[in-house]
Amino acid sequence: MSDSRPTVSPAAPPIDWTAHAAVLFDLDGVVTPTAEVHMRAWADMFNHFLALPDAPGGGDRSPYEAGDYFAHVDGKPRYDGVRDFLASRGIELPEGEITDSGDTLTVHGLGNRKDVAFNEVLERDGVDAYPGSVALLDHLRDLGTPLAVVSSSRNAPAVLAAAGLSDRFVTVVSGAVAEELGLPGKPAPDTFVHAAEVLGAPVERCVVLEDAVSGVRAGAAGHFALVVGVDRGVGADALTEAGADVVVADLAELVPGDREEARDGA
């Protein structure tokens, strides 16, 4: 990482957002706390599968834990998360078809079962955006900065609608859009690069905001102007090692005028 890039610290000035042409937000864990919903849905799906007495594939059938989410699933396209977790356990399942039901014991079937669980929780409980994230969105709206959401989740439009934020973003590059366009998911930078292109902004003038290691790696690989890691549980060291130039606990730290209040826990 270049020493010339800005760093947010108690002694440093806030980021000059007017110096950047566009801002690209991951969704889950950055704008909305839907990462918690995803985590519960993944755990329910995998533990159901691992506990099946006659499940195929062999391998390690011990229960799925929170560490598995961060190590193998967080920030990745859904089916990639299934593949990577199964590979970590030495479990081999057929790919199946994208139309497989959630009861089908294939990579696609397990991924689709997780998607059903997520939508059930979202419909039942709804979702509220992080207040600090809304504060940053408000600030960037006042500046007229074009914004995009770049999410591995196919559910990103539904989450934004539930949070009342659909009108804040020029484009939403969801997992479904990436699949339609044949774009590889994070940690490849392609989905972020595509969002920048849609906004008409060069990557070297765009900021990426991410909470997942895979997403931070995608931002770093794309050579964006600034990669901000949002530490919602992964750990500041892990985000920095993945390529984050800045790590914050909440996006309110990046809003001029709200910075000190955020650090004081207001």
Question: Of 3, 16, 26, 142, which is the active-site residue?
Answer: 26
Tell which residue, 96, 104, 113, has the closest CA to residue 42: 113
Interhelix angle 107-125/156-163, rounded to 10 degrees, is 10
Core vs surface per residue 177-202: b (16+ CB within 10 A) or e: bbeeeebebbbbbbbbbbbbebbebe
User: What are the angstrom distances between the C-alpha of 227 and each of 189, 204, 208?
Assistant: 12, 11, 5
* Catalytic residue status for 28: yes
From 3, 16, 28, 128, active-site residue: 28
Helix axes 78-89, 107-125, angle to 10 degrees: 120
| Helix-strand-coil split of the chain, %, nearest 5 | 50, 10, 40
d(CA 226, CA 204): 8
Give the angle 171-175-178 at the CA atoms, nearest 5°: 75
Q: Distance between CA atoms of 70 and 230, rounded to whole angstroms? A: 14
54 is catalytic: no
Residues 53 and 95: their CA atoms lie apart, in Å, by 21
Q: Give the residue numbers annotated as catalytic, written as ranges.
A: 26, 28
